[in-house]
Structure 1
Amino acid sequence: MARYTGPRAKISRRFGVSLFGPSKALDRRNFPPGQHGVRAGRKKKSEYSVALGEKQKLRFQYGILEKQFRGYYEEAARRRGVTGEILLQLLETRLDNVVFRAGFGNTRQAARQLVNHGHVLVNGRTVDIASFQVKPGDVIKVGPRPSSQQLALRMVDLTQAAPQVDWLSVDRDKLEATMARVPERSDIEPIVNEQLIVELYSR
């Protein structure tokens, strides 16, 4: 499964926001990387540069490569409704993200690994595809194997302080979550202006 494997702290510093989970790099150096990093923020960016940056932020946040991200945009554009919001919903309802939101992974990368290694069941069946689209009513549960349970319990301990989302019903004792509804934009609280991404792809 294709995924981003490059430097993470550098990417987070470039955009000024933690895209891969908690990072001390932004606290230590809250300016872009490179020898001109301190002065880089003073340069005025073009509209295209700003829109491209928004797309890259969203892509890195969910751990998706360019070709797959474009596929999500094209699917969102085909559906009836606000394209930008539908794009966010498609990304948010990926199985790896749902596992992360449920608290069974302390980062999206950890949740993705949990899925890829076959530790997660959807409606009683093992699903090891991180991009699997979860639908309302689907039950996501950690598998019964001791290794699966032990790994998930460790993650739950790490995410106890994380806020719960309204669109998921989570039972941490059973390591089980049910998707109650499709998340709205207000539930997702995106770190980007998705309309700029839509305009970028519409050019």
Structure 2
Amino acid sequence: MARYTGPKTKISRIFGEPILGNGKYLGKNSNPPGQHGATRKRKQLGEYALQLREKQKAKYTYGVLERQFANLFDEANRRKGVTGEVLIKLLEARLDNTVFRLGIAPSRPAARQLVSHKHITVNGQVVNIPSFQLKPGDIIGLKPKTAGNTALTSVIRGKNPKFSWLDWNEKENRGTFIAYPERESVPENIKEQLIVELYSK
């Protein structure tokens, strides 16, 4: 299973945002990684560097590697609508991301692990593919055996009310992917237009 396994705080320091993890080591005085991170005078980033940086931020945020991301962009480009917004919708519709948004797992990596270890069902069927694309109306739940595991169910916190494109049934421990989210509803600080410009070169 391909995934990023490198240092997480280093990535957060590159972008100055808690891209991976909770960012508890990311303070106001956090320096960029590298031997001269504290003293190096950084030049104004060029157009290409800004575009590449935004793509890398999106990849690390959603836990997607290069080829997967390129394929998602191609799919977004084929669909109707604004390509950048469609790309964000496709990233949000990934099964691992939705498990995280529903509050079943505390982080996207944890959600990815739950999915790949066959703890998650979609419409009653076990799905172990983190990149599985959900469609409006799909029901996400826990496998019956997993639902009885208090160690796993005790960390479920339920979805954040601001995620209006999802619905969570606390009694049954299952959620519904109601619709693709509108861009303004997605809290991630990603400038998707720069990604579109990068791939359009």
TM range (shorter): over 0.9
- 1:154 Cα deviation after fit: 2.6
Counterpart Cα distance in 2 of 1:8 and 1:169: 30
Three-state SS of the structure 2 residue aligned to 1:54 is helix
Counterpart Cα distance in 1 of 2:147 and 2:164: 29
Amino acid at match of 1:189: P
Counterpart Cα distance in 2 of 1:139 and 1:89: 17
Q: Does structure 2 conserve the Cα–Cα contact (< 8 Å) formed by 1:120 and 1:143?
A: yes
- 1:174 Cα deviation after fit: 1.6
Query: What do you get for the CA RMSD once the two structures are aligned?
Result: 1.9
Three-state SS of the structure 2 residue aligned to 1:37 is coil
When normalised by structure 1's length, the TM-score is 0.92
Three-state SS of the structure 1 residue aligned to 2:17 is coil
In the alignment, what sits opposite 1:4? 4
- Structure 1 residues 151 and 139, CA, compared in 2 at 3 Å: closer, same or farther? farther
Three-state SS of the structure 1 residue aligned to 2:26 is helix
In the alignment, what sits opposite 1:192? 190
Q: Does structure 2 conserve the Cα–Cα contact (< 8 Å) formed by 1:142 and 1:152?
A: no
In the alignment, what sits opposite 1:183? 181
Structure 1 stretches of 4+ with a deviation exceeding 6 A read none
Counterpart Cα distance in 2 of 1:90 and 1:41: 38
Q: Does structure 1 conserve the Cα–Cα contact (< 8 Å) formed by 2:104 and 2:158?
A: no
- Note the residue ranges of structure 1 that are not aligned, 5 or more in a row: none
When normalised by structure 2's length, the TM-score is 0.93
- 1:147 Cα deviation after fit: 7.0
- 1:75 Cα deviation after fit: 0.6
In the alignment, what sits opposite 2:18? 18
- 1:164 Cα deviation after fit: 4.6
- Alignment: residue pair count: 201
Q: Deviations over 1:6-50 (max 9, x none)?
A: 111101111111112312221285221112212447421111111
Amino acid at match of 1:2: A
Three-state SS of the structure 1 residue aligned to 2:167 is strand
Q: Deviations over 1:140-163 (max 9, x none)?
A: 00111147643442321xx46955
Map 1:29-178 onto structure 2 (within 5 A): 30-40=30-40, 42-146=42-146, 149-156=149-156, 159=157, 162-178=160-176
- 1:101 Cα deviation after fit: 0.3
- 1:179 Cα deviation after fit: 1.1
Counterpart Cα distance in 2 of 1:161 and 1:29: 33
Q: Does structure 2 conserve the Cα–Cα contact (< 8 Å) formed by 1:54 and 1:192?
A: yes
Residue identity (%): 48
Q: Deviations over 1:50-95 (max 9, x none)?
A: 1100000000001111011000001111111100000000000000
Structure with greater proportional helix content: 1
Amino acid at match of 2:171: D
- Note the residue ranges of structure 2 that are not aligned, 5 or more in a row: none
- Structure 1 residues 146 and 183, CA, compared in 2 at 3 Å: closer, same or farther? closer
Three-state SS of the structure 1 residue aligned to 2:71 is helix
